[in-house]
Amino acid sequence: MKKFTGLLLISGCMIFITALTVKAQTEISADKKVYDFGIIREGKNTPVTFILKNNSSKKMRIKEIRTFAACVESVPLTNKLMHPGDSISLEYIFESLGYGGVTVNKKIEVYFSKANNPLILYVRGKVLPLQDYQASIGEMSYNFFVLIDIRSRDEFIKQHIIGAVHIPSQKIIEWVQQTIKKSSDELIIYIMSEKGSISDDTVKTLWQKGYTHVFSLIGGMEEWKKQKGQDLLISGRY
């Protein structure tokens, strides 16, 4: 008889816990519990949005949101307090790089004040791996660099490194100042002169102004030819 009573107590406890969970979910609801982004190719980013609503008669504040690494906040919440009837939009970007070949099924847990359990949301979808001939923008933009050739225009047209951009030495400081304003901290700028001395002096001036993402190529074009010969050198305006 004692064993039977124990089973009833355990069963009752389970029912009580379930009731708390249901209550928490009805106090705060989401327009959808699962955001399915379908099938995307690795390297593409996709927006993820959930709309939360306070269905209770009391104020609710978001205390914490736990997401997985690839789901990053795109629009930070400036107001986490929800009055009765209020709605809040949770906006994220799912960054698929590194998830090629994976079927994603990840949780987002939203913790509220005065709620017994977190609201659990899911982000789902399938990420196709990159083809052998494809590269992601994330791969390209990581430590993105620009090579600036500050020699004379005639020297540049005669021979320069593939992909180099010609900016006259007298305009390079202004160009860097304008470019840095429009770029991220990941941008690295290399500056090349004929022997390296002019680029050294230019970059020293830029560093004194706080532009520490700019570097002078030691030895300039002369050193390039010593080490690389004619490798990657072209002529013309392109």
pLDDT at 81 over 80: yes
68: three-class secondary structure by DSSP: coil
Residue 38's CATH number: 2.60.40.10
Domain end: 100, 128, 156, which one? 128
| Alpha-carbon gap, residue 213 to 188, rounded angstroms | 5
SS3 helix, strand, coil % of the chain, rounded to 5? 30, 35, 35
Q: Tens digits of per-residue pLDDT, 108-128? A: 999 998 777 899 999 999 999
Residue 162's CATH number: 3.40.250.10
pLDDT at 2 over 90: no
| Alpha-carbon gap, residue 232 to 208, rounded angstroms | 32
Q: Is residue 20 part of a domain?
A: no
Q: What pLDDT was estimated at residue 25?
A: 53
Q: Are residues 60 and 115 in contact, defined by beta-carbon separation less than 8 angstroms?
A: yes
**151 and 177 belong to one structural domain:** yes
Q: What is the dihedral of CA 145, 182, 209, 149, to 10 degrees?
A: 40
Q: What pLDDT was estimated at residue 231?
A: 95
| Nearest by Cα to 192 from 217, 215, 161, 211 | 217
More confident site: 219 or 1: 219
Q: What is the dihedral of CA 156, 158, 160, 166, to 10 degrees?
A: 20
Range of lowest pLDDT (24-33, 42-51, 83-92, 220-229): 24-33
Range of lowest pLDDT (54-63, 124-133, 136-145): 136-145
17: three-class secondary structure by DSSP: helix
Give Rg (Cα) of the chain.
29
Using 50, 70 and 90 to split pLDDT, how confident is the model at 183?
confident
Residue-number span of the structural domain to which 196 is assigned: 143-234
| Alpha-carbon gap, residue 180 to 165, rounded angstroms | 16
Q: What pLDDT was estimated at residue 5?
A: 38
Q: Are residues 129 and 42 in contact, defined by beta-carbon separation less than 8 angstroms?
A: yes
Provide φ and ψ at 83, rounded to 5°.
-75, 165
Q: What pLDDT was estimated at residue 222?
A: 95
Q: Is residue 88 part of a domain?
A: yes
pLDDT at 235 over 80: yes
pLDDT at 198 over 60: yes
Q: What pLDDT was estimated at residue 138?
A: 80
Q: Is residue 39 part of a domain?
A: yes
**148 and 122 belong to one structural domain:** no
- C-alpha distances (whole Å) from 4 to each of 10, 16, 17, 18, 20 are 10, 19, 20, 22, 25
Q: What pLDDT was estimated at residue 238?
A: 58
The count of domains in the chain is 2
Q: Is 220 left (phi over 0), alpha (psi -120 to 50) or beta?
A: left
Q: Tens digits of per-residue pLDDT, 3-58? A: 433 333 333 444 333 444 445 457 889 999 999 999 999 999 999 999 999 999 99
Whether this model's pTM surpasses 0.75: no
**119 and 48 belong to one structural domain:** yes
